[in-house]
Amino acid sequence: MSKNSKHFLEISQLTPEFVMQLILRAIYFKTEDEYPRYSKNILANLFYENSTRTRVSFELAARHLGISCINLDLQSSSEKKGEIAEDTLQTLAAMGVNLFVVRHQQSEFSKKLVNFLVNDEHIINAGDGVNSHPSQAMLDVMTIFEVKPNLEKLKIAIVGDILHSRVANSLQSLFSLLGVENLFFVAPKIWHPKEINHGYFTTSLEEGLANADVIITLRVQKERILQDEMFDVQTYCKLYSITSKTIKYAKSDVMVMHPGPINRGIEIASDVADGSHSYILKQVKNGVFMRMAIIESLITS
């Protein structure tokens, strides 16, 4: 069970048993044509940052479960008129919204919003700054589990802009929770985080990928990189790009993953992204089922 199952905010609130429960429920949804209906609920997507796949994925997850979904265009809504997020939340709650999916550029934003809830509403963190993105980590682990269920035994390499990646943070917590010891982070030194809680860091792609079962590539997040954290993109491509040549360091059945959106030809070559090792679209597909499992766990707890 989750330690605090009213909201879905961080991997740290989960237990290994609850993670497995969500994965199995998501896999079950994937095999079914009909789903339970929770039509008394209303979900609002509050995205203060752009998103396509995560937002649409939550919307489809809600619809599959018979839940109405509202998408707020926060660029043109009352946010522009100076309304603060707390007021938006309380206004929507007064109209019956009880599930809020929140993405914001500020770390811990979803957690702060919890203090402004009036009744029994639930908050799901869909990405807060560089802090965390727990539903993405969950769908990534689901995707791995379906193909290589022996998670503890795997070597997993996460390659790219670790310093600015909320996905990498959540994956680090989740792999630690699930006992994945052979976790490697590969990036130029300047993109290594200051604090390392779990896993090994290396600047060598060859070392990181050697005998890997899974490669998770991350987007070079130009919008988050500060002046003093710059690393030349051309050099990055040369040293760290996942190509048909570099995946040869890994196992012959290596899974190549990416949370998207991808920069083709930068962190990943097109032929790998579209090739037989790629699980990128499977991740996207699994995202809907995993989010169904997450939403259901909150409203039925």
Contact between 291 and ligand NCD by CB under 6 A: the answer reads: no
Contact between 54 and ligand NCD by CB under 6 A: the answer reads: yes
Give the C-alpha separation, 177 to 4, whole Å: 16
**The binder of ligand NCD chosen from 110, 136, 173, 217 (CB under 6 A):** 136
Q: Any alpha helices (H) in 132-260, and if so which ranges?
A: 134-147, 166-177, 205-209, 233-240
Q: Hey, what are 14's tokens?
A: 């989960």
Q: Any alpha helices (H) in 100-215, and if so which ranges?
A: 109-113, 134-147, 166-177, 205-209
Helix axes 280-299, 53-64, angle to 10 degrees: 50
Q: How many residues of this chain interact with ligand NCD, rule: CB under 6 A? A: 11
Contact between 219 and ligand NCD by CB under 6 A: the answer reads: yes
Beta-sheet pairing, 122-128 with 155-159? unpaired
**Residue span 236-265 as binding mask against ligand NCD, x where in contact by CB under 6 A, dash where not:** -----------------------xx-----
**The binder of ligand NCD chosen from 6, 30, 53, 198 (CB under 6 A):** 53
Give the C-alpha separation, 15 to 105, whole Å: 27
Closest distance to ligand NCD from the beta carbon of 262 (Å): 9
Identity at 103, one-letter amino acid code: R
Contact between 132 and ligand NCD by CB under 6 A: the answer reads: no
The closest residue (CB) to ligand NCD is: 219
CA proximity to 179, closest of 203, 199, 204? 199
Identity at 14, one-letter amino acid code: L
Contact between 127 and ligand NCD by CB under 6 A: the answer reads: yes
Closest distance to ligand NCD from the beta carbon of 267 (Å): 10
Contact between 45 and ligand NCD by CB under 6 A: the answer reads: no
Residues that bind ligand NCD (CB under 6 A): 53-54, 127, 133, 136, 166-167, 219, 221, 259-260
